[in-house]
Structure 1
Amino acid sequence: MCSTNIDALIFDLGDVLFTWNAPTTTEVPPKTLHAILQTPTWFDYERGRLTEDEAYEAVASKFDLSAQDVAVAFQGARDSLSSRPFMVDLIRDLKRDGRKVFAMSNISAPDWSVLRTKSADWDIFDAVYTSAEAGERKPDLSFFRHVIAQTGVDPTHTAFVDDKFDNVLAARSFGMKGVVYDEFSNVQRTLRNICGNPVARGFAFMHEHAGRHVSFTSTGHVIQENFAQLLILEALGDPALVDYTKYDGPFNFFRGGGQFTTRNFPFDADTSSIGLTIAEDITEETKHRVMDEMLRLRNTDGILQVYFDPSRPRVDPIVCVNALCFFYFNGRGDELSETLDWVEAVLRHRAYLHGTRYYEPAEAFLYFLCRLLAISERARGRLGALLRERCRERVNMPGDALALAMRVISCRATGVDATADMQRLLEMQQVDGGWEQGWFYKYGSNGVLIANRGFTTALAINAIRAWKVDVGFKSRTPSPSSE
């Protein structure tokens, strides 16, 4: 039983399942041999309208060659045919879910007689359709109609793979999912994405690397930190996936000492706000004690600062949003009124568009703000309409997988259509089931970026679940205390 809506696959043979080389030791140069293959005469030969000898005579006359030399050159090309074992393995794997697999090739009857003798695990195909048998060739629509009629496939539930764009375009005109074979890695990723269940594959990636979803910098260094671990835990709710340090008080961004910064790195309001909300077995006394400490961190404008260290007077609107989540979740949101005022100003005037001191993508601000609105009815009433408009402004903007996942989640939470961004995110899933990292936060002092592939994948999973099955951001956010 197929797990997706693709229940049939149609593959070209030449330059997809098989490769061949034009011989260099004949009187027909490789360039000329390729040119012959694009002539109307050769097309008629592939349709079965000319015999082999007639085709050789016709093209020899056109290119000022002897028919014998043309025959020798094509025999050499036939001899060079070899299958691509990695394609055979991929097709066999995709067929395991119960899909029908067919081949559809522009090939003459004599060439097909030779090709079928080649070792290629022909049993992977439920049937092979040739232009010689059909009397038509790709991209003739009549050839596609013939194959559809013979196989009984539903074109809208069928994927088609060919190395020629014109053939893929013709397939798409029937509603097929057309894939141009350029290089194997792209084709493999695309086919696994359209044939596999993206959420199941994403979870498989997360479990395969459980406890090892480390972060790394744009300078190529691995860092051990708590923040991404806590966010993964919040996103997927599985403690077995992550490894973080638990504190009886404020949390530190780093696990152990600071890395590529001050060794005795101070505790921060950002990681503390997430950790004290997400980590298990945190006492109410601890939460309120830390909130009392955080209140003492406010600057002269009444805005909460980042670090539990007065010698580092830093502010960041996203850190403020996360602190507001922590306070509202525990019924004390009104104690950060000036901080909320500043967050609203940042949202209203789009001050987040080029990132913040500690966060790279514009979507980070919107994502965490949706988290706040899911927790606080008061914040939702005050900022909801404006946030919806700001989310709408980000639709179809450029972005990596993390930015797209945050965007889709934010748009879903605010009722904004981001279908095109959802499709782009689906297409970015890698062969191993994960998504490539997106630069998320950064060292404020030098701008070195930090990413975590596990976090990107966790958010991509949630984006897809929210969009496709309506299991969205709000349903995974803890219910707030009374305000």
Structure 2
Amino acid sequence: MSLPPRCSVLIFDLGDVILTWSPVTTTSISPKVLKAILSSTIWQQYERGRISEDECYRLSGERFRLDPEEVRRTIVDARTSLRSNDGFIRFICDLQAEAQGALRIFAMSNISAPDYVNARAIPTEWGIFERVFTSAAAGMRKPDLCFFEFVLDEIKAEPSSVVFVDDNRENVLAARSLGMHGIVFDDVQRVRQSLRFFTGDPVSRGLSFLEARAGRLESVTNSGQIVVENFAQLLIWEATNKRELVNFVHHPRIWNFFREGPIFTTDEYPSDLDTTSVGLMLTQPDDHVFDSVMDEMLQYTNEDGIATTYFDSERPRTDPIVALNILRLFYSRGRGHQLSRTLEWVLGVLEHRAYLEGTRYYETAECFLFFASQLLRSSTDTRLHARLAPLLRERILEQAGAAGDALALSMRVLAGMVVGVRLERELAELLPLQCEDGGWDPSWMYKYSWTGMKIGNRGLTTAFALNAIAALRSPPQLQ
């Protein structure tokens, strides 16, 4: 899948986007009536330059049973209230500067000639606009398609290279119908994020986000507390192959989830087989360490013979995703046969869809599907592939198109690639979720089972999102 084209032309509406105004006036005409006047066919004719200002006031007075002079004073008050939307304009200037001359910026407005003269008197960065197209000058107005076509012809731009921003949904729809990219100006932060999406490269932006925060990519809870832990750091390292991005406490043998001591749980928190499995595979100690730790792991199973989570016989808790990570370690070392009961259990979880609402420690179905795919990637065992791969492929196809946050979408894409499934719709959902700073929001990956507190990591979500983009950028592999 190719990424959306980087757009090189931005067209902005003036009123309620570049300029703000107030419908509250000193006259007897209410804001509601003023807005009705401004949306009337009489005013539309005035904006097209087909009737004079005096004629507009006279006809508006007749239409709304008002004194034409009162209409005039109301419009003068509205003009006086015009202000520059300075914060948003500074953002546009930043976009233009970052593009280093590769971004053309225009304005396109339904506005009468007198109102445009008044608007140009407002102090703002008018120099950012290569040209301002007005309905009065063109004799056309939005959402007339001919006005959009006129502008496109004048600026010599392909519709697919243009982003149009307007507070009126009808105008945005018209622009989209011609092949332009449309953004409704409703929430400023969302609009800024969308403009970054259309004008920047998501991969370079994501990498810049990670590099700027190297060593500070900490996890957070859904209530905002920082969780200083090892597990997400290891996964970020594995996803990016950039050790310099992460900060963890290295353990020569057995790893603990927490880096500086447990929080929101018991004061003495045991080391776990989950973090240890990932830690060993990444740090690659000598064979003696591998074998001794794995021998110790085999001592921690429950009454069903399934590998448990902790190096603590008093906590015989199981989680199928933890089990997948343990299996991954054992299969990567040619010892998968020693955990046959654990394998049968996770296959049963997959077959019967027991993972759909998450697991004891992990939040989403995609976590299970992703780590199952990682087990396949880490092993060359033909029997394992024969049993796991077809079923995993089937379950991923079932999950395709389901709603999900950025991490879930990324995990689904990455899991699909392992079994030959290209989930391009998921990428189309993932890309617009990239934040203005280049990263993706944390998404919830794991949780405290007894409190329901959720934990996520922006660095982890961003690393997975970048891998998902890279995976689908590559051409399909013949199966």
Q: TM bucket by the smaller chain?
A: over 0.9
Aligned partner (choices 296, 303, 308) of residue 306 of structure 2: 303
The answer as to whether partners of 1:139 and 1:167 remain within 8 angstroms in 2 is: yes
Does 1:316 find its partner at 2:315? no
Does 1:393 find its partner at 2:398? yes
Cα distance 1:250–1:48, how it changes in 2: closer, same or farther (>3 A)? same
Residue 138 of structure 2 is matched in structure 1 by 134
Deviation at 1:368, TM superposition (A): 0.5
Aligned partner (choices 465, 471, 475) of residue 466 of structure 1: 471
Deviation at 1:22, TM superposition (A): 2.3
Does 1:205 find its partner at 2:209? yes
Residue 94 of structure 2 is matched in structure 1 by 93
Q: Secondary structure at the match of 1:450?
A: strand
Gaps of at least 5 residues in structure 2 are none
Q: Secondary structure at the match of 2:388?
A: helix
Residue 432 of structure 2 is matched in structure 1 by 427
Q: Secondary structure at the match of 1:161?
A: strand
Residue 34 of structure 1 is matched in structure 2 by 35
The answer as to whether partners of 1:4 and 1:197 remain within 8 angstroms in 2 is: no
Deviation at 1:219, TM superposition (A): 4.3
Aligned partner (choices 451, 456, 461) of residue 451 of structure 1: 456
Paired letter, 2:472: W
The answer as to whether partners of 1:4 and 1:196 remain within 8 angstroms in 2 is: no
Cα distance 1:352–1:101, how it changes in 2: closer, same or farther (>3 A)? same
Q: Secondary structure at the match of 2:421?
A: coil
Aligned partner (choices 103, 106, 111) of residue 110 of structure 2: 106
Moved more, 37-46 or 418-427: 418-427
Gaps of at least 5 residues in structure 1 are 473-483
Paired letter, 1:38: S
Residue by residue over 1:386-406, the C-alpha shift from the partner in whole angstroms, topping out at 9 and shown as x without a partner, is 111111111222222221221
TM superposition outliers: structure 1 runs of 4+ over 6 Å: none
The answer as to whether partners of 1:374 and 1:380 remain within 8 angstroms in 2 is: no
Deviation at 1:383, TM superposition (A): 1.2
Residue 240 of structure 1 is matched in structure 2 by 244
Separation in 2 of the partners of 1:192 and 1:71? 41
Residue 296 of structure 2 is matched in structure 1 by 293
Moved more, 155-164 or 296-305: 296-305
Deviation at 1:471, TM superposition (A): 11
Deviation at 1:4, TM superposition (A): 4.8
Paired letter, 1:318: I
Residue 228 of structure 1 is matched in structure 2 by 232
The answer as to whether partners of 2:84 and 2:124 remain within 8 angstroms in 1 is: yes
Moved more, 167-176 or 432-441: 432-441
Residue 476 of structure 1 is matched in structure 2 by none
Separation in 2 of the partners of 1:458 and 1:163? 34
Q: Secondary structure at the match of 2:220?
A: strand
Residue 350 of structure 1 is matched in structure 2 by 353
| TM-score, L = length of structure 2 | 0.94
Does 1:84 find its partner at 2:85? yes
Moved more, 87-96 or 119-128: 87-96
Residue by residue over 1:149-200, the C-alpha shift from the partner in whole angstroms, topping out at 9 and shown as x without a partner, is 1011110111000000000000000111100000211111111122111121
Q: Secondary structure at the match of 2:33?
A: helix
Moved more, 298-307 or 234-243: 298-307
Does 1:161 find its partner at 2:165? yes
The answer as to whether partners of 1:179 and 1:187 remain within 8 angstroms in 2 is: yes
RMSD: 1.7
Aligned partner (choices 360, 371, 396) of residue 363 of structure 2: 360
Residue 479 of structure 1 is matched in structure 2 by none
Separation in 1 of the partners of 2:309 and 2:29? 73
Separation in 2 of the partners of 1:180 and 1:401? 22
Aligned partner (choices 370, 373, 377) of residue 374 of structure 1: 377
Q: Secondary structure at the match of 1:243?
A: coil
Separation in 2 of the partners of 1:260 and 1:110? 64
Cα distance 1:25–1:447, how it changes in 2: closer, same or farther (>3 A)? closer
Q: Secondary structure at the match of 2:323?
A: helix
Residue by residue over 1:84-121, the C-alpha shift from the partner in whole angstroms, topping out at 9 and shown as x without a partner, is 11221122222231111111110111111221222121
Q: Secondary structure at the match of 2:108?
A: strand
The answer as to whether partners of 2:25 and 2:77 remain within 8 angstroms in 1 is: no
Separation in 2 of the partners of 1:415 and 1:104? 46
Deviation at 1:220, TM superposition (A): 3.8
Residue 64 of structure 2 is matched in structure 1 by 63
Q: Secondary structure at the match of 2:254?
A: coil
The answer as to whether partners of 1:45 and 1:52 remain within 8 angstroms in 2 is: yes
Deviation at 1:381, TM superposition (A): 2.5
Residue by residue over 1:453-476, the C-alpha shift from the partner in whole angstroms, topping out at 9 and shown as x without a partner, is 22112111211221224699xxxx
Aligned partner (choices 304, 328, 345) of residue 325 of structure 1: 328
Residue 384 of structure 1 is matched in structure 2 by 389
| Aligned-residue identity in percent | 48
| TM-score, L = length of structure 1 | 0.93
Separation in 2 of the partners of 1:132 and 1:412? 54
Cα distance 1:161–1:450, how it changes in 2: closer, same or farther (>3 A)? same
